[in-house]
Amino acid sequence: MVTRATPSTVELTQGGSVRGEVLSESAERVVVDLGFTILQVPRDSVARIVKDAASTATDAITGADLYSTDPIARTQSVKDLVNGIGDRVVLVKTPSGLGSGFIIHQDGYLITNDHVVAGETQVTVTVFANGEKGMDKQTWENVKIVALNGDLDLALLKIETPDHRKFPTVPLGDSDELKQGQPVFAIGAPLGLERSVSQGIISLRNRLESGRMYIQTTTQINPGNSGGPLFNLRGEVVGVNNMKIVAAGAEGLGFAIPGAVLKAFLKNRDAFAYDPANPNAGFRYNKPPRPEASPPKPL
């Protein structure tokens, strides 16, 4: 009896996928048996290979780290993804400004940027859901700050609901798999324009800027997008939108915090726990100025 290997889905860097039995892999190509023909896919065109296995389904369950993954996520159009996961992106408001965020756990845990909520104690979150009569917009005022880290510019919040409501969530992807030129898109509230979608590509996966590692993207990132998700075409969050470079003649210079950094923040969230009893919790202070060096005295 001949035993066939487990079928796999080969995700492509430019979008789309092929499904079949992977016969061989090398540095140059991946060979896939589609059943009716054999296909050779150049290695640099392969984003990742997802093998079907019953055991991998447990990876999609949210664990102690508060986030989930989706090993069977498939490539879709931006339109379909926005319709399917757009209600997991939220608007975060404080008395001094606003930003975006996204829900990662069904109990109401969500991610945004530290600079969106730093120094604040009053935070509201607006959730947009597709109801029977159109868009259902609900604002929650009882929002708890769980953890903050100014150096990473990440914050973990929790919507406290009296009925212990369960929220739909987004999975986290692998930012280390990103390739230059790979399509990505963002959902957020630039300048308060809620539920705005912008699309671009990965310019560079690992751009060092001001001592931090970022994903550089041509996706439009504007004030109000801060803290919102950067998605791949499988609907996985691969980055947290953070900033853009503003300069004369500069366009398409958006930056997102890598998903790998977000996962490390969540796994170590107890180290960044917010203490409301500490008046300094959540606040960041500017570094003190250095004294100017005295000019040399003439001899």
pLDDT digits (tens, 9 = 90+) for 64-107: 789 999 988 889 999 999 999 999 999 999 999 999 999 999 99
Q: Which distant-in-sequence residues (6+ apart) come within 8 Å of 264 by Cβ?
A: none
Mean model confidence pLDDT for the chain: 85
Q: What is the pLDDT of residue 49?
A: 84
65 is catalytic: no
Distance CA 160, CA 54 (A): 34
pLDDT exceeds cutoff 50 at 164? yes
CA distances from 35 to 4, 38, 39, 52, 111 (A): 12, 8, 10, 16, 43
Q: Which of 8, 196, 198, 226 is catalytic?
A: 226
Comparing 247 with 189, the larger pLDDT belongs to: 189
Cα dihedral 170, 176, 182, 185, rounded to 10, equals 30
The residue-averaged pLDDT of 200-205 equals 96
- State yes or no: is 115 an active-site residue: yes
The average pLDDT across 149-156 equals 95
Q: Is the pLDDT of residue 255 over 90?
A: yes
- Annotated catalytic residue, options 115, 175, 196, 198: 115
Active-site entry in 17, 100, 153, 175: 153
Separation of alpha carbons 62 and 68, rounded Å: 4
Rounded CA gap, 273 and 122, in Å?
17
Q: What is the pLDDT of residue 296?
A: 53
What is the model's pTM? 0.74
Whether 132 shows a pLDDT value over 70: the answer reads no
Q: What is the pLDDT of residue 283?
A: 46
Model pLDDT, residue 295: 55
The yes-or-no answer on residue 153 being catalytic is yes
